[in-house]
A and B are shown apart, each in its own frame.
Chain A
Amino acid sequence: MDYNERKSIVNMLSTVIVLGIYYWSVFERFDSLTLTTDEQLQFWAKAILIAIPISIVAKIVVMIIFAISNYIITREDLPCFEDERDKLIELKSTRNSYFFFGFGFFISLVVLAFGYPPKFMFIALILAGIGSEIFDNLSKLYYHRKGV
């Protein structure tokens, strides 16, 4: 397993753990509150906006720890540039994750159209966001292993 494959796995796990814990606490808080529809929309908008810096900071910290531990364990220098294959893998993985998120967005609209409360729309959106991140990393892992 090379550096890029390990990086994809670590990225995927950190996304699931960090965002999983964060959204778990958000759902618990949401269930303990009694909100009007407008307040619910505001609540979910704030929750998603707060999730963005949390996931960025968490990703930076995890990548620093990963780079250090990877060097200690393998004694391999980090790749200092991206070549054409890396860029192609990045592009294809991003395309796949956009497809996944697009599908999740569509589902969230269907949920709303069928008259479910906004909570379920946001659950679909959050799952689409986390799922697209996982799909992105799984795609990278697949293309690195099986070829692109």
Chain B
Amino acid sequence: MKKSNHSVTNNIRKLRFDSDEMTQQQLADQVKVTRQTIVAIEKGKYSPSLELAFKIARVFKSPLEEVFSFKPESDKP
């Protein structure tokens, strides 16, 4: 699971791998963003909008919580 600067983590890389090794460009085309945005989300450098998060989850046919998770700063040790 990729760790984010914004306490939002995601499983996109793993889910892409499980979806016949889908490329970042293929995912970007399906959710209508640039490949750089997918790269930034995977690296945890950008937290997507709720709409984009749902679109990504829909591509992987997974619930949102399986793709993204949120851990507040106060929960960290």
Q: Residues of A with Cβ closer than 8 Å to B?
A: 2, 4, 79, 81, 83-86, 144, 146-148
Contacts and interface: CB of A to CB of B under 8 A. Distances in A.
User: Which 3 pairs show the lowest CB-CB distances between chains A and B?
Assistant: A147-B45, A83-B33, A85-B37
Interface of B: 5, 32-34, 36-37, 40, 43-46, 48-49, 52
Given A83-B33, A84-B52, A147-B43, 6 more contacts: A4-B36, A81-B32, A85-B46, A85-B48, A86-B34, A147-B45
A147 B34 contact: no
A7 B52 CA distance: 25
Contacts of B49: 84
Contacts of A2: 36
A147 B42 CA distance: 11
A83 B46 contact: no
A28 to B, nearest CB: 43
A4 B48 CA distance: 19
Contact of B46 (A4, A81, A148): A148
A84 B48 contact: yes
Contacts of A85: 33-34, 36-37, 40, 46, 48
Given A84-B49, A85-B46, A147 B5 contact: yes
